[in-house]
Chains A and B, each alone.
Chain A
Amino acid sequence: MIELASVGRTYGSASAPVTALRDVNLVIQRGEFVAIVGPSGSGKSTLLNLIGCLDQPSSGRLLFLGEDTSTLNDTKLSRIRNRSIGFVFQMFNLVPELTVYENIELPLVYAGVTRQRRALTTKVLERVGMAHRADHPASLLSGGEQQRVAIARALVNDPALILADEPTGSIDPVSAEQVMELLGELHDQARTIVLVTHNMSVAAVAQRVVRIEAGTINEIGHSPVAETRGPAAQVTAAAISATVE
């Protein structure tokens, strides 16, 4: 589904470049659950932004569904983000002044969906258990609730790929457990999931763990837990509780 070939990403001016990623090669198959782990500043969020077409590589090639993203214009990239990708951020990134409902329907608004909008929005709203908060301003929700709304927004266009950047990083353990359960369910429904975290026990839920350090991938390992998907959720929940405490 996604293929990175010697991808590099450099910020700043030509005279004083800051290298965030260098020579990254990575293939993510359809239906995979991949965790990208690494310490802060290792470049894992940069990698996720590249995969999510929010950013473009400075060098190398990134293929999204077989298409080289550097050849796509802004409209096409926006369409990919809109139709094929659902983002879940650490800070939720809801529009604070909009209501829960309005936040969730945003992708549908930009997709030009009109007739089915209400039905689709309501469906995901119920799925994350936030239907009773539909008309609340997003800014008045707790962190856990906001993250559930963010997941609903990520799901509303039924994307093939879910990108989650430290989705449990800013919420309480119980909410984190719910969020991880939701991600697990989404994976079970054949969605591709790429999760960025610095927390190894969260990463343990994934099938595959990609370690990134100082902008390079230096270790690719398979999670032992992910082999047995069933009880994984409980294991993770316990692990999360332990680390948060």
Chain B
Amino acid sequence: MKFRDAILVAYRGLTRHWVRATLNVLGIVAGVASVIMLVSVAHAVGGTAKAAVAGLGANLVVVYPAGASTSGVQLGIGTPSSLTSSDVTALSNIANVPDEVQNAVVPSAGVRQNVSALDHSWQTDIIGTTAGFGIERGYTISEGTAFGPTAVSAAQLTVILGQTVARQIFPDVDPIGQNVLINNESFKVAGVYAARGYSGVYNQDDLVVVPITTLWQWVLPTGSAQIQQILVQASSTSTTTNVATEVTNTLLRQHNITDPALADFRVVTQQDLVASAERLGTVMQWMLGAVAIIALLTGGIGIMSLMLATVGERAYEIGVRRAVGASREDILGQFLIEALLLAVVGGIAGIALGFGGATFMGDVLTDIPAPVVTGLAVLIAGGVALVIGVGAGLYPAVRASLLQPVEAVRRQ
């Protein structure tokens, strides 16, 4: 039997039962499309999580109080902090962390609260920090001025707005020199940061920055003055490990801890964060991929049950074909090719739908980063569809080929 004829025979076999064939193709389509969409979303989210920490700056060493969030990006009120102002002072001391490896030490703390002006109000992250914050975190002033060390030491009621906040509460007015209310205290707007956009799912423009002393004195409840994070910027990427060691040693001394395993703080470099974000992204991709592959398996089981039913139903046809000269291999081939055709058609349609679905999700769900369809996802989805299609077709095909010609003719 010629290969072309084998394909044609299989094709005719499918089109004769096109409703069932279509349902089967749909099973594969759904599976392949969901693999592609889920893996794409996971890839995008993982990728932007990585970008988010990468955006911190390659030279950063971050100190957290023990037990605080590992993400390092989100600032929120956590457990009482083990970090103090004297820690900041100690870290800033050149004797402890030499200035050839370190540029600046910036403590910060934050709280989520409403900021209002005139008839507009907006809930955002209020971050208390020092003058070095903008530089270390990559914010630049687009209008007005940043606050200097004096503002911090005097706990001035001054504030710098992120772009999003500026747009929300001053849609029509130049915000510079205006007053905003935070916790019923009036703050003067000194400057506005240039827009930075999203980093992962985090809107970097949705924040206001005040001197950390002001945050403690006027915004946070009395007695909850604390430091949630200390950023130490190394002079270059190559010195970050060095800085991390200096910082750890200094703080251990400060806190009178001899056993590093008992440290009440954690020191993390930006590279550590990137690596863990990468791991998280990969784990997420595989997890969602596995979920989607279950969907594909379901499609495969559908193909198998159709094929098995078909073999029983077509025993007569198989017998006729055997009688006129079809060998076992011919019958095996016919059923395998039928399964393969279903898988290929379903796979191609699924890939198309997956692309479309990913694009659609990117357009509609603006809160998540736009899904990125990777070649690997397409390859895996297509490959698995093919393997499942053929795998599901194999058993029924073998059953069909083992039918004795005379048995098959008898069962009319």
Contacts and interface: CB of A to CB of B under 8 A. Distances in A.
Given A54-B322, A55-B404, A93-B320, A78 B409 contact: no
Contact of B2 (A83, A112, A153): A112
Contact of B317 (A54, A95, A107): A95
Contacts of A89: 409
Given A54-B405, A98-B12, A110-B330, A78 B325 contact: yes
Nearest to A91: B412
Contacts of B405: 54-55, 81
Interface string A60-104: 000000000000001100110111000101010111011000100
Most buried by B among A49, A79, A83, A109: A109
A89 B409 CA distance: 10
A74 B322 CA distance: 10
Interface in B12-67: 12, 16
A114 interface: yes
A204 interface: no
A93 B327 contact: no
Interface in B186-211: none
A114 B409 contact: no
A82 B409 contact: no
B5 interface: yes
B135 interface: no
A81 B320 contact: no
Contact of B323 (A81, A83, A97, A102): A81
A144 interface: no
A95 B320 contact: yes
Interface residues of B, number: 25
B9 interface: yes
A54 B316 CA distance: 14
A78 B328 CA distance: 8
A110 B321 contact: yes
A205 to B, nearest CB: 24
A97 B313 CA distance: 13
A91 B322 CA distance: 16
Contacts of A244: none
A81 B317 CA distance: 16
Most buried by B among A89, A97, A111: A97
B406 interface: yes
A52 interface: yes
Contact of B409 (A54, A75, A109, A111): A54
Interface in B299-334: 316-317, 319-330
A91 B320 CA distance: 11
A111 B323 CA distance: 13
Given A79-B327, A110-B327, 4 more contacts: A78-B325, A78-B328, A93-B323, A106-B321
